Homo-oligomer: A and B are copies of this chain.
Amino acid sequence: MQVRDHAKTPHMQLLASFLAGAWSNGTGPRGKLVNPTTEEPVAEVSQGGHDLAGAFEHARTVGSSELASLTFAQRGALLGALAKAIHGAREELITLAIANGGNTRSDAKFDIDGGAVTLSHYAELGAKLGNAMLLGDGEPIQVGRTARMGGQHVWARRSGVAVHINAFNFPAWGTCEKLACALLAGMPVITKPATATALVTHRLAQLFEPLLPAGVLQTLIGPAGSLLDHVGPGDVVAFTGGSGTARTLRTHPKIVEHSVRLNIEADSLNAAILGRDLEIASETGALFVADVVRDMTQKSGQKCTAIRRVLVPEDKLKDACDAIRERLGGIAIGDPSREDVRMGPLATAQQRDDVRAGIARLAAVTESVHGGTGDVTPLGVPQGKGFFVGPVVRTTATPMTCAPLNEHEIFGPVTTIAPYSGDTKTAAEFIARGAGCLVSSAYSDDRDWVASFVGAAASWAGRLYLGSSKMAAQSPGPGTVLPSLMHGGPGRAGGGEELGGERGLHLYMQRCALEGDASVLKSLIGG
């Protein structure tokens, strides 16, 4: 039996951290990473005992000056090498993601390929930026009586350390998307994956280490401990995770004392709105159904961008529920290493418990469309094992005032579908009820409806995905983060901004207004 085999494994792997140029095992008690399908341990991690002060010092001195000596093009070439390393170890990484993340093969590829694609995108951007030292921001400005007295905004590399605290759901992509922007901007990184799913990130750290200059990337595996006690005025902290931790970061004494730049991507109650012009059976209607179902089941709904709240015109509610129910019925849930399984477990026991609590809160005020409260008998899994929750669709007649729907992110395969009048004002108000989200989507082939919707909704989302028949055939869906488009959102979503091409570098740079002789300013940005 599997459990016994694993328990017998004589040498449980201890995941070391890579800090100050060396692999550090840490000291003290050890925690266990488990396979969320079987609950068997897959690796161990120290709870502390690393020299974090030394890691910061290493980054500030060695790492920072290594990057200072490189052009954007050279930094981009490094990112290209990292992407290549991921491609070379793709099968191995997929195996680790299945074992430690509960990912299906498709889920694992989504994470791993997403990381590689993002690195490649920023590698290309680096080549484009070439050997500039300062990035120009906008056009020259006349600030004196004559054109001689000028102004020019620029972006300059910050001289501190970028601290990255990543979420459990994307151990590859999340790590790479933050890393790509920071390294290209010229800041050394100390990255910390979520401990529970750190196996993939640990392997990336091993793969990346020989490819990067000293001090440029350090990886802490295990609890953050006193990590943030070392940050100062020139540093950046970028965090992806839950709102509870986000609150702790915002009020951290060192972050407050030094106005440390803090980027947060937290909870997000992303909505999808079906326009009033569409039949479910239409091409755009089918895109809508496919996107809702994909976001529920891909990574078992553990995506910060997944659709949690759905509005459809009243007269389409039945058709929409039927179509979603039918699709979900065909999805096999169980051991994600099996080829026939389309959805695996949640990543941890804690996630399962949180999702179940969220479903209970929601179930108290909504009705079931599919899946009840998520009970499921997974395929190919030892009896009673694994952190499984089945796909759950709920419905409510009063979506605007349903607090458990609009105020609590359920980070799993759960969505709620509700009727509305079809007008854009209500649609935008529903999005606003989420108090700020990473992405929301609207599906319509009526351009006037779309224009009215965007005008009213855009300030509540970091991204608006506009589904239509024109793009249905090549759409990645709203749940896919793209390196060229900004990722982040206002309010509840944390108020951060990542990616978006060159915009993604700005978190790691300082905008500075240069003021003086216009010809000097021109020469400073290579003019």
**In the assembled complex, A145 has its CB within 8 A of some CB on chain B:** yes
User: Is the pair A257, B261 in contact by a Cβ cutoff of 8 Å?
Assistant: no
CB contacts (< 8 Å) of A432 on chain B: these are 159, 234
User: Is the pair B459, A512 in contact by a Cβ cutoff of 8 Å?
Assistant: yes
Q: Which of B455, B471, B512 contacts A463 (CB 8 A)?
A: B512
Measured in the bound complex, the distance between the Cα atoms of B299 and A474 in whole Å is 61
CB proximity of A304 to chain B, nearest CB, Å: 14
Given the interface pairs A159-B432, A436-B259, A495-B261, the reply to whether A513 lies near B464 with Cβ below 8 Å is yes
Which of A147-155, A188-196, A340-348 forms contacts with chain B? Answer: A147-155
Which of A170-178, A204-212, A387-395, A517-525 forms contacts with chain B? Answer: A517-525
CB contacts (< 8 Å) of A146 on chain B: these are 474
In chain A, residues 132-151, which have Cβ atoms closer than 8 Å to a Cβ of chain B?
133-134, 138, 141, 143-146, 148-149, 151
Measured in the bound complex, the distance between the Cα atoms of B516 and A250 in whole Å is 34
User: Is the pair B459, A259 in contact by a Cβ cutoff of 8 Å?
Assistant: no
Chain A 236-249 against B: per-residue CB contact (8 Å), 1 yes, 0 no? 00000000001100
User: Is the pair A459, B520 in contact by a Cβ cutoff of 8 Å?
Assistant: no
Q: Which of B159, B459, B523 contacts A447 (CB 8 A)?
A: B523
The chain B residue sitting closest to A264, CB to CB, is B259
CB contacts (< 8 Å) of A257 on chain B: these are 247
Report, as a range, how many residues of chain A touch the other chain: 35 or more
CB proximity of A509 to chain B, nearest CB, Å: 7
Q: Which of B458, B474, B501 contacts A145 (CB 8 A)?
A: B474
CB contacts (< 8 Å) of A524 on chain B: these are 450-451, 454
The chain B residue sitting closest to A246, CB to CB, is B259
CB contacts (< 8 Å) of A247 on chain B: these are 256-257
User: Is the pair A467, B256 in contact by a Cβ cutoff of 8 Å?
Assistant: no
Measured in the bound complex, the distance between the Cα atoms of B465 and A458 in whole Å is 37
CB proximity of A513 to chain B, nearest CB, Å: 4
**In the assembled complex, A227 has its CB within 8 A of some CB on chain B:** no
The chain B residue sitting closest to A441, CB to CB, is B515
User: Is the pair A491, B234 in contact by a Cβ cutoff of 8 Å?
Assistant: yes
Chain A 406-439 against B: per-residue CB contact (8 Å), 1 yes, 0 no? 0000000000000000000000000010011000
Given the interface pairs A509-B459, A517-B468, the reply to whether A259 lies near B451 with Cβ below 8 Å is no
User: Is the pair B467, A159 in contact by a Cβ cutoff of 8 Å?
Assistant: no
Q: Which of B156, B259, B436, B517 contacts A470 (CB 8 A)?
A: B517
User: Is the pair B251, A256 in contact by a Cβ cutoff of 8 Å?
Assistant: yes
The chain B residue sitting closest to A187, CB to CB, is B459
**In the assembled complex, A461 has its CB within 8 A of some CB on chain B:** yes
Centre residue among A259, A436, A454 by max chain B CB count within 10 A = A259
18 A-B contacts, Cβ less than 8 Å apart?
Answer: A133-B455, A134-B454, A138-B501, A144-B475, A144-B476, A151-B484, A156-B459, A232-B435, A234-B459, A247-B257, A447-B523, A459-B510, A463-B513, A464-B515, A465-B515, A466-B515, A468-B517, A485-B515
19 extra interchain contacts, Cβ-Cβ under 8 A, other than A143-B476, A153-B485, A466-B516? A134-B455, A134-B458, A138-B503, A148-B471, A149-B474, A151-B484, A159-B459, A234-B490, A234-B491, A259-B491, A451-B524, A462-B510, A462-B512, A463-B514, A463-B515, A466-B514, A466-B520, A468-B517, A500-B513
Q: Which residues of A contact B (CB under 8 A)?
A: 133-134, 138, 141, 143-146, 148-149, 151, 153-154, 156-159, 232-234, 246-247, 250-251, 256-259, 261, 264, 266, 432, 435-436, 447, 450-451, 454-455, 458-468, 470-471, 474-476, 478, 482, 484-486, 490-495, 497, 500-501, 503, 509-517, 519-521, 523-524
